[in-house]
Chain A
Amino acid sequence: MSADRERAVTEAFVALATSLADGADVVDMLSGLAADTTRLLDVDSTGLLLADHRGVLHVVAASSEATRTLEVFQVQRAQGPCLDCYRSGRPVNVSDLSAEAARWPQFAAAAAEAGFASVHALPMRLRDQVLGTVGLFGTTVGALGEDDLRLGQALAYVAAIALVQEKAAQDQALITAQLQTALDSRVVLEQAKGVLAQRSGLDMEPAFAVLRGYARDHNLRLTEVARAVVARDLPAELLLAHAAARDERHRPSPS
Chain B
Amino acid sequence: MIIGHLDVDAAEALVRLRAYAFSHGLSASQAAWAIVERRVSLAEEESFQVRPDSDGRPA
By a beta-carbon cutoff of 8 Å, the part of chain A in contact with chain B is 67, 191, 194-199, 204, 230-232, 236
Contact at B9–A194, with CB atoms within 8 Å? no
B residues near A196, Cβ cutoff 8 Å: 4
Interface SS, A side: helix
| Complex contacts, B2 vs chain A, CB 8 Å | 194, 198
Contact B1 A198 (CB under 8 A): yes
Asked if B26 is at the interface (CB within 8 A of a chain A CB), the reply is no
Partner of B1, one of A194, A231, A232: A194
Closest residue of chain B to A201 (Cβ to Cβ) is B38
B5 at the interface (CB under 8 A from A): yes
Contact A232 B36 (CB under 8 A): no
Residues of B within 8 A of A67 (CB): 36
Cα–Cα, bound, A67→B10 (Å)? 19
- Interchain nearest-CB distance for A119 vs B (Å): 23
Q: How far apart sit A197 and B36, CA to CA, in the bound complex (Å)?
A: 9
Interface centre among A194, A197, A230, A231 (most CB of B within 10 A): A194
Interface residues of B in 1-28 (CB under 8 A from A): 1-5, 7, 9-10
Chain B residues near A194: list those with CB within 8 A: 1-4, 36
* Shortest 10 CB-CB contacts between residues of A and residues of B: A198-B4, A195-B4, A198-B1, A194-B1, A199-B4, A198-B5, A195-B3, A67-B36, A191-B10, A230-B10
Output the least CB separation between A49 and chain B (Å): 18
Alpha-carbon distance A199/B7, docked complex (angstroms): 11
User: How many angstroms between the C-alpha atoms of A65 and B42 in the bound complex?
Assistant: 23
> How close is B5's CB to chain A, nearest CB, in angstroms?
5
Contacts A67-B36, A194-B36 given; does A231 touch B4 at CB 8 Å: no
Within the complex, what minimum Cβ distance (angstroms) separates A214 from chain B?
Answer: 16
* Nearest CB in chain A: distance from B40 CB, A: 12
Taking a contact as CB atoms under 8 Å apart, the answer to whether B36 and A236 are in contact is no
Can you pick out 24 interface pairs between chain A and chain B where the beta carbons lie within 8 Å of each other?
A: A67-B36, A191-B3, A191-B10, A194-B1, A194-B2, A194-B3, A194-B4, A194-B36, A195-B1, A195-B3, A195-B4, A197-B1, A198-B1, A198-B2, A198-B3, A198-B4, A199-B4, A204-B36, A230-B3, A230-B9, A231-B9, A232-B3, A232-B7, A236-B4
Min CB distance A224 to B, Å, is 16
A248 to B: closest C-beta gap in Å: 24
Q: Bound complex: CA of A232 vs CA of B5, how far in Å?
A: 11
Contacts of B5 in A (CB 8 A): 198
Nearest neighbor of A199 in chain B, beta-carbon distance: B4
